[in-house]
Amino acid sequence: MQLLKFIKNIAIVLVFSLNFAHGEDNANVAWLEHNEITIKSLSTPKAHSFLTPEEKVPLGSLWKLFVYLYLADTHAKEAEYVCSTTPSEEDRYCCPPGSSVNRDRALAHSCAPYFDPNRLHISPKKWKKYWEEKTTIEWVNDIRHLTPETEVSLHDLLFVLSAIPTQARNEARDALLETSLELYGKNAWSELGSAIRYKTYSWHTHDGKAFGGAAGWLADGTPFWFGANGSSFTSLTKWSKALSLTLPTPSLLSTSTDNSCVDVSFFERYPLKAIYKEKTPIKVESGILKGNFRLEFENGNWLTITTQGEMRLRKNSDQHYTIYGRFGLNNYVARVIDREGNTTQTHAARALAVAARTYLVQNGNYQGGCWSISDSSHTQRVSATIPSQKGLEAAYFTDDLILRGAPIHYHMSTPALNQLSWRDAYAQAVSGWSFEKILKHSYPNAAIATMNGRMECVPLKAAESWLAENSQKWQSTLNREGGYEPLESIPTICQLSDGNPYSDQKRLRIYVRGWQSLNDRLTLVHEYLHLVFRYHPNGVNETYIENLARKLTGVTP
């Protein structure tokens, strides 16, 4: 049996080498869009690729991605992998000797032992049942195919990637951001942007030459595969610009990769007098706005907007209308770009996208997975109409990127320390500056970071002990409140370095600046209540939460 397996592996390598070793500059990319596979050669402009959808490629490290997706979609609670104090060759990809690695980091760092089906106790029967419910592609149904040397066709690989449920795909995208920004793709991301997420792979042919690349998803979920001579790191570095010019433009307006949302209160300083749809004034008390509308303000100004159902109208007690919007985070950033700047200079727009996203994180309120902020010159102005394609492209190119290390501001024409001048940024982009250089010039004390990086936890253990002790005292009061659901354990409490305190309902964490003062403890209890009422309307009722927090802490309203 061992001899047969050896012969099979040699045959795979030989066939693979013959098909792909067409010169040192061989590189190809394939993607699946509208159930059709497109394959392009990157080696020469407009070159026809010799590959076909039936062409078979080794999985390499991609097998780990499919185990990750299975774990994510089945809500598995597996143990972390602990690296040996005398580490193996595989352990060096995982963690320092004696430490451990979690699922997300294991995927980003391509830690093979973590995803070993035997370690995870994944039964072949459950594995097969899961994948049969997702796709008709047969190779993925057999857990024995989870090996680097397994050959699959580009057709099958892309169609399996397209069958992944949105939530599991988004979890994988979050984990793979580190790969594209800090690991194997770190020399490629400035060309590809941060919205493209991928798992890298490398493979060695029979003559010792390397072949590597990546497979994953574009911002809108379009699956893709890329391969070239060289390791994954060298191939991505060499071909990133050609990749960025060849891959299709994602459909961004309705993309589902935005895990966060933003609630915006529009026109707070400019009361609305009337709203017209076509030429007919609206007389309803509240409702969803969808279509073209003409807004008349008390000061006599008019504005025409177009919405797709993301805006809501509400008549206040003073009989004035208020308009609210709920957008995906990148949709919101694109609207800020359209309102505060423009998109005629790509790198200026990208710089503004990072600044606007950071401003929201530092100054908006965050609850239940949603940020909230006003459309105002005192915060940042937001376009009330559908964002432009170029605005969306700038927002998604900088997906998840923020600045850390300084308070972030910007102005139309006035530069200052840690304040971007849009007029200067525009001129700098015209002269050839990249968005990174523009940001470094405007914010010398700040560095580019990620939204996930902001959420790294520096635990406040004393605060957790205080909350554990006092939450027991509150049980009788909380049990009388509708919607209260106690947590299985005390949430992790993390030190907040910037921005407003918030609770992370996905990770069951609370981010606060401190806990020792009365006001800090009131804030801590406020965020705790958001977690224990997270499945009930009371959980998003700020007045209810604040009053109950004051009652529990004995603070007089």
Q: What is the pLDDT of residues 329-352, one digit of tens each?
A: 999 999 999 999 999 999 999 999
Q: Which residues make beta-bridge pairs with 350?
A: none
* Separation CA 551–CA 557 (nearest Å): 8
| DSSP secondary structure, 160-220, as one string | HHHTS-HHHHHHHHHHHHHHHHHSTTTTTHHHH-SS-EEEEEEEE-TTS-EEEEEEEE-TT
In a domain, 428, yes or no: yes
Q: Are residues 135 and 242 in the same domain?
A: yes
Given a cut of 80, is residue 499 above it in pLDDT? no
Tokens describing residue 119: 């370690």
User: Does 56 share its domain with 128?
Assistant: yes
Q: Per the domain annotation, does 255 fall within a domain? A: no
Which residue among 400, 425, 453 closes a domain? 453
Residue 371 shares a structural domain with residue 487: no
In percent, the amount of the chain with pLDDT more than 90 equals 61
Q: Do both 70 and 219 map to the same domain?
A: yes
Residue 79, pLDDT above cutoff 80: yes
Residues 6+ apart with CB under 8 A from 24: 229
Instruction: Using the predicted structure, report yes or no on whether residue 458 has a pLDDT greater than 90.
Output: no
Average pLDDT estimate for 497-512: 78
In a domain, 223, yes or no: yes
**Structure confidence at residue 49 as a pLDDT band (50, 70, 90):** low
User: Does residue 252 lie in a domain region?
Assistant: no
Of the candidate ranges 135-144, 162-171, 252-261, the one whose mean pLDDT is the lowest: 252-261
CB atoms within 10 A of CB 513: 16
Domain shared by 125 and 241, yes or no: yes
Considering just the CA atoms, what is the radius of gyration of the chain in Å?
26
CATH of the domain at 110: 3.40.710.10
441 and 472 share one domain: no
Mean pLDDT of 207-236: 92
Co-location of 423 and 333 in the same domain: yes
Residue 373 confidence (pLDDT) above 90? yes
> For 273-282, which contacts have Cβ atoms below 8 Å and span 24 or more sequence positions?
273/297, 273/298, 273/320, 274/321, 275/313, 275/321, 282/313
Mention every residue, 6+ apart, whose C-beta is less than 8 A from residue 210: 202, 203, 204, 229, 230, 231, 234
Instruction: Tell which residue, 137, 146, 151, 138, has the closest CA to residue 119.
Output: 146
Last residue of a domain, one of 246, 278, 305: 246
Average pLDDT, integer, range 373-394: 93
Determine the Cα–Cα distance for residues 356 and 362; give it in Å rounded to an integer: 10
For the cut 80, the answer to whether the pLDDT of residue 299 exceeds it is yes
The residue that leads in pLDDT, 535 or 32, is 32
Q: In whole angstroms, what is the distance from residue 478 CA to residue 86 CA?
A: 50
Task: Quickly state the pLDDT bin for 384 (edges 50, 70, 90).
Answer: very high
Higher pLDDT, 332 or 92: 332
pLDDT at 375: 92
Final residue belonging to a domain, choices 398, 418, 453:
453
pLDDT above 90 for 4: no
Q: Residue 556 burial by CB count (10 A; 0-12/13-18/19+): exposed, middle or buried? A: exposed
Same domain, 174 and 310: no
Q: What is the pLDDT of residue 305?
A: 92
pLDDT at res. 451: 84
What mean pLDDT do residues 502-530 have? 86
Residue 25: predicted pLDDT: 72
* Predicted pLDDT at 498: 65
Quote the strand ranges of 9-112, DSSP E.
27-33, 36-41, 56-58, 81-82, 100-101
CATH code of the domain in which 503 resides: 3.30.2010
Q: Do 224 and 216 contact (CB within 8 A), yes or no?
A: yes
pTM for the full predicted model: 0.79
- Among 422-436, 481-495, 531-545, which range has the highest average pLDDT? 422-436
Q: Which of 8-22, 152-166, 286-300 has the weakest average pLDDT?
A: 8-22
What average pLDDT does this structure show over 123-148? 95
- In which band, very low, low, confident or very high, does the pLDDT at 481 lie, cut at 50, 70 and 90? very high
Give the span between the Cα atoms of 386 and 401, in whole angstroms. Answer: 22
Together in a domain, 320 and 423: yes
Give yes or no: residues 425 and 467 share one domain: no
- Residue 2 has a pLDDT of 44
pLDDT > 70: percent of the chain: 91
Is 289 part of any domain? yes
Range of the domain at 40: 2-246
Mean pLDDT taken over the chain: 88
* Residues with Cβ within 8 Å of residue 34, at least 6 apart in sequence: none
Residues 454 and 497: their CA atoms lie apart, in Å, by 8
Give pLDDT, residue 432.
96
Task: Kindly indicate the confidence band of residue 45, based on its pLDDT and cuts at 50, 70 and 90.
Answer: low
What contacts 136, CB < 8 A, 6 or more positions away?
Answer: none
Instruction: Answer whether residue 253 is part of any domain.
Output: no
Residues 515 and 387 in one domain: no
256 belongs to a structural domain: no
pLDDT at 456: 61
Q: Residue 491 gets which letter from DSSP?
A: P
Q: Would you call 453 exposed, middle or buried from its count of C-beta atoms within 10 A (0-12, 13-18, 19+)?
A: middle
- Report the number of distinct structural domains present in the chain: 3
Q: What is the pLDDT of residues 459-469, one digit of tens each?
A: 888 999 999 99
Q: Express each pLDDT in 183-206 by its tens digit.
A: 889 899 999 999 999 999 988 876
CB 419 within 8 A of CB 407: no
| 279, 320: one domain | yes
Whether 384 maps to a domain, the answer reads yes
